[in-house]
Chain A
Amino acid sequence: EVQLVQSGPEVKKPGESLKISCKGLGFSFTNYWIAWVRQMPGKGLEWMGIVYPGNSHTVYSPSFRGLTTISADKSISTAYLQWSSLKASDTAMYYCARQIDVRGVDWFDPWGQGTLVTVSS
């Protein structure tokens, strides 16, 4: 079964660092882009950026460039999203999703179960 399994919920204080993960199972991880999507409490979906584990190439949303770091380790089929200094406004659910690309047509499937990040003093 193709699936993305994300790391568990995190509770952090402002200023702390954090790295959450997304492990791909059941498919060739190096052949697909992996995206990260933020969903703040009660709000909609926001695309943060994407990584290609085959060569670690990343593309960031203009809204998130410089705020987070997206990376991947193809040897363990895992993508990461990390912060060096969290803010309360980073409190959100974070989803990873595999990007399927068929002849220039792409969409996200499947999605991970989500990682809830809570930042509070």
Chain B
Amino acid sequence: QSVLTQPPSASGTPGQRVTISCSGSSSNIGSNIVNWYQQLPGTAPKVLIYNNNQRPSGVPDRFSASKSGTSASLAISGLQSEDEADYYCAAWDDSLNGHVLFGGGTKLTVL
């Protein structure tokens, strides 16, 4: 069971705005940055958001993210069919000599 908690699923219709939450603790999200990764079906993950809210070049501005305290969230506006994927939050955890934690993942379905 992941220490970063995400809802297992989310859904929306084209054009809608959806948000995905990621809840952690003081040893991870509370004291370190959060990154978000998108995994399209049958492909390797790719970075979607880094440093809490920064988009790499090539990522549409429909994707945004924020962090507050020990929680983070990813928002996707103007939902498109190609956004259907698994989304993972990730953060360094300071416990046990330090390690990276991934959230359990959220499967986004575009209805």
Contact = CB atoms under 8 A, between A and B. Distances in A.
Interface of A: 35, 37, 44-47, 50, 59-62, 95, 97, 100, 105-114
B44 A95 contact: yes
Contacts of A112: 44
Interface residues of B, number: 26
Contact of B46 (A35, A62, A106, A110): A110
A105 B102 contact: no
Contacts of A37: 45, 102
26 contacts: A37-B45, A37-B102, A44-B2, A44-B88, A44-B103, A44-B104, A44-B105, A45-B37, A45-B90, A45-B105, A46-B102, A47-B100, A47-B102, A50-B100, A59-B97, A61-B99, A61-B100, A62-B99, A97-B45, A107-B47, A108-B35, A108-B90, A109-B46, A110-B46, A111-B45, A111-B46
A107 B104 contact: no
Interface of B: 2, 33, 35, 37, 39, 44-47, 50-51, 56, 86, 88, 90, 92, 96-105
Nearest to B54: A105
Given A45-B102, A62-B96, A113 B46 contact: no
Nearest to A4: B44
Contacts of B35: 107-108
Nearest to A61: B99
Contacts of A97: 45
Contacts of B88: 44-45
Given A44-B88, A105-B50, A111 B101 contact: no
A109 B102 contact: no
Most buried by A among B56, B88, B100: B100
- Considering the complex of A and B, which 7 residue pairs feature the smallest CB-CB distances, nearest first? A107-B50, A47-B100, A44-B105, A45-B102, A111-B44, A107-B35, A109-B47
Contacts of B100: 35, 47, 50, 61
Nearest to B50: A107
B51 A45 contact: no
B36 to A, nearest CB: 9
